[in-house]
Amino acid sequence: MKDTSKKQIIKVFLISILGLGIILGMLYFNHKTNIQKNKALATEKRVLQYESTLKKELEKYNLGEKTAVLLGIMYQESRGEGNDPMQSSESLGLKPNEIQETSLSIEQGVKHFAKMYKYGTDKDVSMDTIIQSYNMGPGYIDFVASYKC
């Protein structure tokens, strides 16, 4: 009789530990998911704060409809952080992050994008190619255009 009750107690104990482990695992996973969502929302807010500035700058080149594209580039380049959110220092011949003024970064980033956009449309390449040329420069457009069938 003692063996049976000991076995039952051990069984209940192990099931309780397993249940507790499952609950703690679920809570941990939920917590990690919430942290990731909060980080994503914070990043989105940082990038979206520049939407009107980007649009205004793009309109100087009649490219206001490309605002979402530039927001995407900014998201990829810097997540909206720092003083050079467009990471456009290098397009001025400077070292990375040498631009220390957000407005200059956006102005230069839009100017560079507009230049790549015009060159890419003249060469009849895809928007994906134009976006990639933001980082790689006009040589990438030439490369893609030379392999078009």
Note the pLDDT of residue 51: 92
- Note the pLDDT tens digit of each residue in 39-51: 655 567 888 899 9
Q: Do 69 and 28 have their domain in common?
A: no
CATH number at residue 107: 1.10.530.10
Measure the CA angle with vertex 66, ends 76 and 40; round to 5°. Answer: 35
Note the pLDDT of residue 31: 72
Q: Do 60 and 103 have their domain in common?
A: yes
Note the pLDDT of residue 38: 59
Note the pLDDT of residue 115: 97
Over range 78-90, report the average pLDDT: 89
Q: Do 28 and 7 have their domain in common?
A: yes
Q: Do 23 and 55 have their domain in common?
A: no
The per-residue DSSP string of 59-93 comes to HTTT-GGGHHHHHHHHHHHHTT-SS-TT--GGGGT
Q: Do 69 and 27 have their domain in common?
A: no
Q: Do 18 and 67 have their domain in common?
A: no
Q: Do 59 and 99 have their domain in common?
A: yes
Q: Do 71 and 40 have their domain in common?
A: no
**Above 70 in pLDDT, residue 137?**
yes
Q: Do 37 and 102 have their domain in common?
A: no
Q: Do 37 and 106 have their domain in common?
A: no
Is 55 in contact with 44 (CB distance < 8 Å)? no
- Note the pLDDT tens digit of each residue in 7-40: 888 888 888 888 888 888 887 877 777 666 656 5
Q: Do 14 and 63 have their domain in common?
A: no
Question: Could you list the residue range(s) of the whole structural domain that residue 3 is in?
Answer: 1-48
Note the pLDDT of residue 1: 55
| Number of domains present in the structure of the chain | 2
Note the pLDDT of residue 43: 64
Q: Do 4 and 28 have their domain in common?
A: yes
Query: Which pTM value belongs to this model?
Result: 0.72
**Above 70 in pLDDT, residue 2?**
no
DSSP 95: P
Over range 122-146, report the average pLDDT: 95
